[in-house]
Structure 1
């Protein structure tokens, strides 16, 4: 049974905001390195991937997962730009390039992941 349109729109809006929070955290933290190990990038991708998987599995709604991913990518895009005073949160580094490319791939995989059929749904 499908929920009403206002309920679904509300779910998508909340998913977008939560995704934006995770995207912001990942955008800020991805550049942290522990010696040579890119700990911030690994944790940012793991956190975003876990959130996308949770939304996909709990809501069984590709659109909610897409809204979450769009929130993540929007936050990354907005906070990767040069600020009004000329400051840059995300400098042009290899880690930033990996973060910028890996996040949309992660979102695409989560949204495109096939649904599992239950025995009674055949």
Structure 2
């Protein structure tokens, strides 16, 4: 059974907002290093991947997963520039580049992943 159009649009908007929160958290935390280990980057990628997979699996809707990913990427884009005080959240370097590229690749993989195969039923 398909849900109504307003309910689906509401789901997509909520997914966009939640994705934006995760994208903002990942954008801020990705540069944290514990010695030589990029702990913030690893946790940001794992957290965003988990959210994307959860949305895709729980809603069975590619569009909801895409809305979540667009929220993440929008937050990264908005908050990765130079701030009004001159501060930069995503500094130039390997961590910033990996975070900027990993997020869209992750979204593309989760959205493009094939639907679960349903077993054939006997008549």
TM-score of the superposed pair, with normalisation by structure 2: 0.95
Matched with 1:113 is: 113
Structure 2 unaligned residues grouped into runs of 5+: none
| CA distance in 2: counterparts of 1:102 and 1:34, whole angstroms | 20
Structure 1 unaligned residues grouped into runs of 5+: none
1:121 CA drift (Å):
7.3
The total of aligned residue pairs comes to 122
1:62 CA drift (Å):
0.2
The runs of at least 4 aligned residues of structure 1 exceeding 4 Å deviation read none
Matches within 5 A, 1:1-122: 1-120=1-120
CA RMSD of superposed structures (Å): 1.3
- Judging changes above 3 Å, is the alpha-carbon distance between structure 1 residues 76 and 46 closer, same or farther for their aligned structure 2 residues? same
- Judging changes above 3 Å, is the alpha-carbon distance between structure 1 residues 63 and 121 closer, same or farther for their aligned structure 2 residues? farther
Q: In the TM superposition, what whole-angstrom CA distance separates every residue of 1:77-110 from its partner, at most 9, and x where no partner exists?
A: 0000111232211111210000000000000000
Deviates more, 1:78-87 or 1:97-106: 78-87
| CA distance in 1: counterparts of 2:45 and 2:17, whole angstroms | 18
